[in-house]
């Protein structure tokens, strides 16, 4: 606009000079040439003024757009219909972003406690030994050194670098994870005890000589006999958190105050795994994960409570949000303080406690949700103490055996079972030999049975003939006995007559 006003003033000035020249000198060649030059100069001046005006408008628009973009990015403001700047609903200012960054940094620092101290990008090389416990050479690169302190004028909102973990020492127990995808061999390698630790300045790394903890099976031996990398070393096994396996999703920030949504592709990470056991574990985890934070209707509360009482689900699987209707104080246990609640206060309790408080007319149950049971890998593998621990000794606590202890017991039982199986095999072999010998005897006896049966038949015939002969002989003997008796009687009678006759003919003297 300013250029247009100056151009109009210039044109009027040139027109006045031309009119004055023509009025004083009249028309001549000089005035005509001068008039033509003035017209040409006027056209060039107008073209130049137009170009400058267009360039000025373009720069003005660029400056306006830049100011709007700057206001949008820095302050979260946007132009309205009347040209004023007002806050945009879906855009956050730099100050808001800094506040959100600090909030998430604090949340990350809180959540990151699951991993304890860790050393990344290490390499695992088996030592090639054939001892009962595999050994390995582990190379741990020195973590990047933190940058120098910020110079004057640096951004004070820039978060300070995280402290670097110290180097490992001999005697430490470490836990190794192969960070490769599971389909490419990534897995938990196991626990190792550091026997030797030395720093190699040539490669700026620490070199560890470590031994596997426990007694590996054939599958573990195969895995540990191969190199692995990159490997992450943990000072302690990671601790499960409910926020694990979640990811940020900016599109849901408006609906979710934490900007967090559940992952729906957990199982997709295990595509290509042929191990049915691993797939079954993943499927079971995905099912538990999908139920996490799902709301339980009031009609399902009795069934959930029954599952808890019967041990069908672990304690802590159901949590209730309650609102106190009356003031109540929970007495603190030994070494802890009591806690007071007033009417209107909200709190979370396990389902059994919440329903008990509701039955006592102390609270109203607002919401019941499922929660995925958390697991402690260190306790699951190596066991832990369960129960109260006294100041001196374990007190009333009990030892809960982990998988390693159970595995050791099972292996001892397997040895006993194998020994019993060997004895049974020996007994079976002896029994089989006896059975075979008995079978031979049975075959021989079977062959002799025919001869025995023929002999028995012949003997039966002989016995029958002998019996017949005995009967005949018996009858003959009876007849002979009768004849002998008759003859004896006749002999006795004859002797009696003969004696009488002799006595008659020659009587004895003295008669």
423-448: per-residue pLDDT in tens?
999 999 988 888 888 888 888 888 88
Say yes or no to pLDDT of 390 above 80: no
Of the given ranges (4-8, 243-247, 258-262, 381-385), which has the lowest mean pLDDT?
258-262
CA geometry: angle 106, 107, 111, nearest 5 deg: 120
Phi, psi of 386 (to 5 degrees): -120, 130
Bond before 75 cis per omega within 30 degrees = no
Residue 124: closest CA among 44, 185, 214: 185
Rounded mean pLDDT, 220-241: 82
Which pLDDT belongs to residue 475? 84
Say yes or no to pLDDT of 332 above 80: no
Say yes or no to pLDDT of 362 above 50: yes
Residue 59 CA to residue 78 CA, distance in Å, equals: 20
Confidence of residue 372 (pLDDT cuts 50, 70, 90): confident
Quote the crossing angle between the two packed helices 2-25 and 29-70, to the nearest 10°. 170
Say yes or no to pLDDT of 152 above 70: no
pLDDT single digits (tens) 400-415? 777 777 877 888 888 8
Residue 130 CA to residue 341 CA, distance in Å, equals: 63
Domains defined for the chain, CATH in brackets: 2-79 (no CATH), 117-144+166-235 (2.40.10), 293-371 (3.40.5)
Residue 304 CA to residue 319 CA, distance in Å, equals: 11
Which of the pair, 462 or 15, is modelled with greater confidence? 462
pLDDT single digits (tens) 468-501? 888 888 888 888 888 888 888 888 888 888 888 7
Number of CB atoms found within 10 A of residue 300's CB: 14
Residue 134 CA to residue 393 CA, distance in Å, equals: 35
CA geometry: angle 408, 410, 412, nearest 5 deg: 70
Say yes or no to pLDDT of 205 above 60: yes
Which pLDDT belongs to residue 337? 76
Which pLDDT belongs to residue 321? 92
Confidence of residue 46 (pLDDT cuts 50, 70, 90): confident
pLDDT single digits (tens) 65-111? 888 777 777 777 777 777 677 777 777 777 778 888 887 777 666 65
Q: Which burial class, exposed, middle or buried, applies to 387 when counting CB atoms under 10 A from its CB (0-12, 13-18, 19+)?
A: exposed
Taking all residues of the chain, what is their mean pLDDT, rounded to a whole number? 76
């Amino acid at each position: 606009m300013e250029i247009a006003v100056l151009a109009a003033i210039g044109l009027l000035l040139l027109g006045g000079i031309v009119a004055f020249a023509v009025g004083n000198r009249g028309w001549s060649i000089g005035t005509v040439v001068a008039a033509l030059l003035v017209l040409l100069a006027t056209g060039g001046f107008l073209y130049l003024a137009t170009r400058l005006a267009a360039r000025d408008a373009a720069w003005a628009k660029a400056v306006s757009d830049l100011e709007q973009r700057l206001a949008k990015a820095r302050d979260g403001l946007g132009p309205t219909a009347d040209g004023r700047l007002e806050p945009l609903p879906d855009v956050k200012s730099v100050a808001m972003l800094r506040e959100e960054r600090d909030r998430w940094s604090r949340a990350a620092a809180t959540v990151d406690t699951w991993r304890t101290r860790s050393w990344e990008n290490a390499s695992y090389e088996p030592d090639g030994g054939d001892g009962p416990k595999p050994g390995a050479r582990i190379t741990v690169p020195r973590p990047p050194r933190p940058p120098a302190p910020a110079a004057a004028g640096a951004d004070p909102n820039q978060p300070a670098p995280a402290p670097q973990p110290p180097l490992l020492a001999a005697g430490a127990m470490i836990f190794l994870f192969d960070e490769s995808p599971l389909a490419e061999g990534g897995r938990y390698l196991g626990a190792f005890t550091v026997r030797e630790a030395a720093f190699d300045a040539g490669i700026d790394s620490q070199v560890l000589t470590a031994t596997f903890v426990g007694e590996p099976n054939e599958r573990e031996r195969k895995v540990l006999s191969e190199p692995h990398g990159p490997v992450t070393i943990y000072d302690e096994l990671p601790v499960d958190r409910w926020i694990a396996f979640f990811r940020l999703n900016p599109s849901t920030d408006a609906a979710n105050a934490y900007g967090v949504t559940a992952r729906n592709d957990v199982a997709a990470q295990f595509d290509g795994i042929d191990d049915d056991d691993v797939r079954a574990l993943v499927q079971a985890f995905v099912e538990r994960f999908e139920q996490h934070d799902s709301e339980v209707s009031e009609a399902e509360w009795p069934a959930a409570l029954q599952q808890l009482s019967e041990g069908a689900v672990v304690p802590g699987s159901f949590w209730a949000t309650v609102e106190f209707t009356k003031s109540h104080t929970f007495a603190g246990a030994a070494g802890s303080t009591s806690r007071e609640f007033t009417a209107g206060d909200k709190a979370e309790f396990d389902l059994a406690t919440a329903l008990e408080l509701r039955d006592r007319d102390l609270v109203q149950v607002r919401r019941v949700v499922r929660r995925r049971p958390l697991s402690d890998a260190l306790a699951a593998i190596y066991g832990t103490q369960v129960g109260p621990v006294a100041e001196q000794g374990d007190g009333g606590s009990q030892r809960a055996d982990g998988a390693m202890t159970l595995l050791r017991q099972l292996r001892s039982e397997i040895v006993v079972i194998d020994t019993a199986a060997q004895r049974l095999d020996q007994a079976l072999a002896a029994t089989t030999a006896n059975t075979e010998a008995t079978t031979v005897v049975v075959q021989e006896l079977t062959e002799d049975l025919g001869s025995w049966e023929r002999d028995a038949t012949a003997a039966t015939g002989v016995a029958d003939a002998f019996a017949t002969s005995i009967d005949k002989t018996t009858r003959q003997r009876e007849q002979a006995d009768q004849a002998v008796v008759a003859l004896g009687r006749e002999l006795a009678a004859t002797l009696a007559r003969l004696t009488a006759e002799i006595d008659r003919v020659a009587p004895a003297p003295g008669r």
